[in-house]
Structure formats: C-alpha cells, structure tokens
Structure 1
Amino acid sequence: MERLLLLLVLGLTGASLLEDNKLCPPHSRPWQVSLQSRRTRCSGALVDKWWLVTSAACAPIGTAINASLGEHDVTAEEGTEQHIPVAEVIRHSPYRSPLHSLAMVRLAQPARLTQQVQPIGLPGRCPRPGESCSVSGWGSTVPNQYEDPKRLKCLTVAVVEDQSCINTFPDFIFWSLGMVCAGGADATGCLYDKGAVLVCDGQLQGVQWFSHGCQNAEHPSVYTKLCKYNEWMRRVMDSHTPTTTTARATTFKRP
C-alpha cells in the first residue's frame, strides 16, 4: 500500500514538473487574453485596441463576459492586468461545426497598450504543413488530466497536413476548409483551453476549435484557420468599432 501511494505521489509530481516545463516566459505573449463568464473561461487574442478574436465556444449568448489583458498568473494580481468588460460579441454565422468556429469580441473601452498588452496582426498568409508554431493558453498540457488554469502555458507544435489530421477525426466530426491542425506524435498537441492561440512566424494563425490532443497525445488539435477569415474580421472591425470610448451594454450579433 505504501509503495502504491509513493508511486502515485511521484506520478503526480512528474506531471507537475512536466507542466512547469511548459510555462511561457511571463508576458512573452502580450496579445493573449483571458475571457471569463459564469459559464466558461478560455482564451483569445488581441488584434486591435478594441478587438479580440476567439472561438465560438468562448462566446456564450446571453452571458456577461470580462476580458483580462496583461495576464500571466490568473490567480494573482501582478500589476500588469487590465480588466475590461466585453461590449459586443459577433459570431461568424453559421457557427456550429463543421462550418465555422470564430467570434470577434469588442471591448467596452479600448485597451491601453503597454509592454504587457500588445495586439498581434491578422495573418498575412496561411500556415504551411510542417511549420513550427507556438500555441498558448491556460490549462492542462497533460492528456486526460484536468488542471485549474493558473499560469500561461506555451507549446511548440508543428502544422499537420490536412489529410493526416482528417484521418484522426472521430465519426461525428467533419472536416472544414476553415480548420488547421497542429501537434501530434512528434510534439504533444494537448493544451486544454478553448480559444488557445496559435502563432506561426509571428503571425496569428488560429484559435483552438477541438483539443483532440488532450484525448490522445498522438492526435493533433484543431484550430480555426484564421487566414481564411481575414476579410470577414476586417469587415467586422471596420463596421462595429465605436467612435467614442463610452462603454455599451453587452450585445451579441451574427452578421
């Protein structure tokens, strides 16, 4: 019995050490945003002082959402944070799988740009199979193990060719041209955080759609392929950015 307990403790310690090895350098992803509501907690990316990009799963209709910018440890106030209510959420329509999973989130007031809070530009090209990228978010990086989100995690993952990714899909999930996959056998694809941010060569390329790598470490996770949505994202920002900094009540729209 004692040996069993010792092995359990060592196993948990090993998992903890593994998680610590995947911590981001503090504030090395100044575009990363934590989104919280009564129903969910997930990630997004700041792309403009007014706007965030996230997955549709991070934008529950009828729920007040708050955005925290300049975060590293979400359990502590570090003096770099900006906590801003969300004023407007615009989901790409139709938003249910297998079609699209993308939402634009407008802040109630513009972010104050600092060293710890900076936007990342929309993609200038699409990601390439085999390309090395970074994915960041809050949550467990160990498959099939839950961890309360604390400090920001970073993984290095490779973009996976479409057909190789399709071959890992369960029967109830269908492929969409708005998907890109990363992670898998050569590097773990598990980061359990809806809306986790995929960056390749300094460009925003995805927000997490399905965390397949957290069910099977051999499988890549699926991200919204943001290069396919540049025109839509720019159109939303051009037509919905306010001319004043007056906060508005939260609204939800589908263009």
Structure 2
Amino acid sequence: MTNRIAFLAAPTEVARAAQDALAARYGAAPLDRAEVVVALGGDGMMLETQHRLLGRNLPVYGMNCGSVGFLMNDFREDGLPERLSAAQAATLHPLRMKAFTARAEATDALAINEVSLLRETRQAAKIRILVDGKERLKELICDGILVSTPAGSTAYNLSAHGPIVPLGANLLPLTPISAFRPRRWRGALLPAEAQVVFEVLEPDKRPVAAVADYTEVRDVRRVEVREDRSVALTLLFDPDHGLSERILAEQFTV
C-alpha cells in the first residue's frame, strides 16, 4: 500500500511546501494509480479530500499542516512509508441529505461531519422534527439544528453543546443550536439507522438553509437525513493516536 502515494495539499504555503518536500523524497503517484492518499492541511482539507475521493475506495492518511487537525496525524517528513504500513484504519459512513425547496427541487449531498439547518435572517427558525415517520417535536424555535456523525460529533456538534459519540456507538447526535422553545430541550441521541425529517414552518417569514458539510441549499422546506451505509470512507491514523482514542480523550478535555 505504501509504494504508490498521492499527495493532496491545502492551498496554503505551509501545506504546499510540505507536499513538495514529501513528493521529492518519496515520489508522487497520480490519483488514478495511487494506493493511499496523504492529505496535507487541516480538518477542512481532510473533508475536501474525502469528498473528492468518493467512490474510489482509497484510504486517506492526513498530516496536520493547519490549525486544529482533529482528523489529522502529526506532520513529520521522516519515516512516512513506515507510518503508513503501521497505520490503523477507521471506517466512517457519511450522512446523506436530501433537501427540498419551495419549488420541490431536490438536492442530494453527503456529509462526513454533519447536516445542519440554519436560519437565514434575524427571525428564529421554526422546525418540526420527525424520526422514522413519527413526529417527535411539533415545533422547535431556534437558530438551527444539526445531525452529526460520530466522527463529526467533536466539531460543530460539540460547539453547540451536543454530546461526543464514540465511533462504535451506532448513534447519531441530534443537537439544537440556540434553542428558544422548548428552552430546556438539549437534543437527542438517535439510532444510526434512524431517518430524520425536518419540516420548516413559516418558511417565507422564517427562511432556513440546509448545509451538508460545505454543500448549502437555501430556502428549504423539507430536509431528510439518514446514515448511508453503502458509502464507506477509510481514514488512517498512527497507532498511538487513533480516532477512537481522540474521541474518548476529547471527553476529558477541560
């Protein structure tokens, strides 16, 4: 797996310098001949790389040349083939969003981190929530709401005070963003196989946008979200710093 490495870099000076150095040292394969992809940048670069490689079934090993780098390994130029050979794989399944606008136009998109609904104006959003066809919340008045993957539970979900979910838990956090009514509702943990439907109430007065990672659909009326088990993404991590360990450790970070 480590003989044919493709390098992808974020559009920053640091990431591109790292790409040049690694390619000069280890050689660089084109994507269509690569056995593994090394992504250089931050978590945004990892998400961009995974979206770019959808359907290719290529494992991705990230090295942090950005800021947070939760999904990335530490950057080191030395010993890359050995690190790739020893890396542990984490398999992720994205969320599939289907968003419908007032004209019944449908947009289909995948989210590795989360699908979020966000108010577009000063007016709070009003959203009805159904899970597996059953109404669970008649009206949520809020700035927004999101459904997260376990891998994405430490991202926007955590910032919105949602729970961190271990990879093997088979759960999806459903987290409100600045809920006004019901004020004390903090969200829910849903089975991974659940289908969530959001219906936007008073959409003309209170327009809402739906976002799947970086695919945005404005003025939605209805949004359907479910985990897509037919799509598998493989991330590679150093043995002493795997994704499951990071998610666990994040719960004890103060």
Structure of larger gyration radius:
2
Q: Please, what TM-score do these two structures have when normalized by structure 2?
A: 0.25
Q: Please, what TM-score do these two structures have when normalized by structure 1?
A: 0.25
Normalized per residue, which structure has more strand?
Answer: 2
Normalized per residue, which structure has more helix?
Answer: 2
